[in-house]
Amino acid sequence: MFDNISKDDEAMTDSAFVEVESVHFSRGEMEIFRGVDLTIPRGRITAIMGPSGTGKTTLLKMIGGQLTPDAGHVRIDGQDVHALSRKALFVLRRRMGMLFQSGALFSDLDVYENVAFPLRVHTDLPEVMIRDVVLMKLQAVGLRGARELKPSELSGGMARRVALARAIALDPELILYDEPFAGQDPISMGVLIQLIKRLNEALGLTAVIVSHDIKETLSIADYVYVIADGQVMAHGTPASLDTDRDPRVSQFMHGEPDGPVPFHYPAMDFHADILGSGGPR
Amino acid sequence: MIERIRHLGQQGCALLEALGRAGIFLGQSALGVPSREGFHLWLRQMHFVGVMSLAIVLVSGLFIGMVLALQGYTILVDFGAEQALGQMVALSLLRELGPVVSALLFAGRAGSALTAEIGLMKATEQLTSMEMIGVDPLRRVVAPRLWAGFVALPLLTIGFSVVGVWGGQLVGVEWLGVFEGSYWSNMQSSVAFVADVGNGLIKSLVFALVVTWIAVFQGYDLIPTSEGISRATTRTVVYSSLAVLGLDFVLTALMFGELS
């Protein structure tokens, strides 16, 4: 009997939780996605990586339903995110958590109230239980002692941990991490890596990490998509990407400054520019 | 030439689009089932936009009333009609100066603060994170502010006019020596409740809606950078002031146009 359950669990973990199908998106004249396809399996940590400005955060916002693609579909647990009504979208979002790069804590509430916010608006729990849940979540991120501080009194790393506690307050099924490691000192970085890994293991969360911190992301990701030039350039397990021979993938994975992705922004010939034939500026 | 016409057309389209966005925005935020939580949020905003604006509005009301009495007296005394001072002060305040000046002060004090506050919440991704938590910021952040402004400004206008009438009495009666009985009784006999007090209040309600709507929409719709916030705050004050003065003319023509 128990064997059956574990097999079912296995099947559940391998099914797709988020599906992104041939998504196209432009901002003004600039084409950001030209047919992106991704599958994010349930219960795993999937990383979306790529150079800055390739639209990783845009993709995350599309999964969260904040941006609508020009063409293509995003499905979460079988529901087309962009076909939902505003109300249904907000209901779906209760099953997701998102960790913003800036933390995005509510500046008029203290740490405790920030974590309690989702519980207060979405549940009818009595105050005693809200307190217990908030303290448990704060304990998980190591900031139970900071519950009375205001967001302005927190360091960047602490703010992100509080934001993480808030994102998991309602025990979501899917959590989206936007650049969780950017601008963190080595200790905060280590803490965050451990937290993300532990949350995934302990709660079986489906996690999507958008990042360009290769070493840290690869250390916890189960599967990686590399996005560049508006398309998925490569995908695979961290080990397979590490040995990928594609020069573009290799340049990104090994952090080489110049290669197929040029160091210079497109510009006219340097000599001609310096000698002044390029106009006043 | 063609280029100019094209530019004009583009601007026209952009304006219409912004108006449409603002209309949908108003509908989505203002309409909805009131809740207990919403009432608490509204109460907090009433304190922020109403109570905190009380000092500037009342002090201004006092001075405006005093100046009205002083100016009115110097003119009326030439015709031996200084007994009509109370009537003049009260009608000017109730019909025009109360609603208009309160709305202008409110746009400067509370409107700009609302724009900056919502704009900063947008710039620091607080509105986006609220959306991701599954809470609609239009209902949670915008609606209480909109309703608070709509209720607070008419109340502030009443305060403004009351203090103004008292200021007029201070100068006219206490200082310049107009007979107290005629100051109050002329006022009482000439001010009609519906035509003067009622119309003044209607004006105030219209201004309250327009000023608060402009303020919250500018905050919600701005480009989330420091320059964007500064521009939107300025736009709030400029658009609100122009809208108040323009609408005041339209409303006055509709309400009092036939008096002449």
Count up the domains in chain A and report the number: 1
A245 inside domain: yes
Tell me, what amino acid is at B203?
A: K
pLDDT, tens digit (0-9, with 9 covering 90-100), for B60-85: 999 999 999 999 999 999 998 888 99
State residue B73's pLDDT score. 93
State residue B166's pLDDT score. 95
A133 inside domain: no
| CB atoms A98 and B126 under 8 Å | no
Domain span at residue A86? 16-105+172-256
| Order of strands across the sheet that contains A16-27 | A30-41, A16-27, A71-76, A79-80
CA distance B4 to chain A (A): 22
State residue B195's pLDDT score. 87
Chain B, nearest residue to A99 by Cα: B129
Q: Is A236 helix (H, G, I), strand (E, B) or coil?
A: strand
DSSP letter (8 states) at residue A265: P
State residue A5's pLDDT score. 40
A91 inside domain: yes
User: Which residue numbers of B have CB closer than 8 Å to A's CBs?
Assistant: 37, 120-121, 124-126, 128-136, 140
A195 inside domain: yes
- Site from A98, A101, A171 to mutate, B interface, most B CB atoms within 10 angstroms: A98
Q: Is the pLDDT at B35 greater than 80, yes or no?
A: no
A130 inside domain: no
pLDDT, tens digit (0-9, with 9 covering 90-100), for B124-179: 889 988 888 888 888 888 999 999 999 999 999 999 999 999 999 999 999 988 88
Question: What is the count of residue pairs from A and B with beta carbons less than 8 Å apart?
Answer: 55
| CB atoms A98 and B132 under 8 Å | yes
pLDDT, tens digit (0-9, with 9 covering 90-100), for B113-123: 999 999 999 99
CA distance B177 to chain A (A): 52
A126 inside domain: no
State residue B66's pLDDT score. 95
State residue A2's pLDDT score. 38
| Whole-angstrom distance, CA of residue B3 vs CA of residue A46 | 50
Residue linked to tokens 């989702």: A118
CA distance B7 to chain A (A): 18
Residues 173-212 of chain A whose Cβ lies under 8 A from any Cβ of chain B = 176
ipTM (interface pTM): 0.76
Q: Who has greater pLDDT, A265 or B256?
A: B256
A145 inside domain: no
- Six token digits for residue A133: 């849940």
Rg (CA), chain B: 21
Q: Considering only CB atoms, which chain A residues are within 8 Å of B48?
A: none
* CATH (domain of A214): 3.40.50.300
A127 inside domain: no
One-character DSSP codes across B109-167: IIIHHHHHHHHHHHHTTHHHHHHHHT--HIIIIIHHHHHHHHHHHHHHHHHHHHHHHHH
Q: Does A267 touch chain B (CB under 8 A)?
A: no
pTM comes to 0.81
**pLDDT mean by block of 10 residues, chain A; 281 residues:** 42 72 86 88 89 83 88 89 86 87 87 92 89 91 89 87 89 88 81 86 87 84 87 85 77 73 74 72 67
Q: Considering only CB atoms, which chain A residues are within 8 Å of B126?
A: 104-107
| Whole-angstrom distance, CA of residue B148 vs CA of residue B113 | 13
Chain B, nearest residue to A163 by Cα: B129
| Whole-angstrom distance, CA of residue B215 vs CA of residue A71 | 35
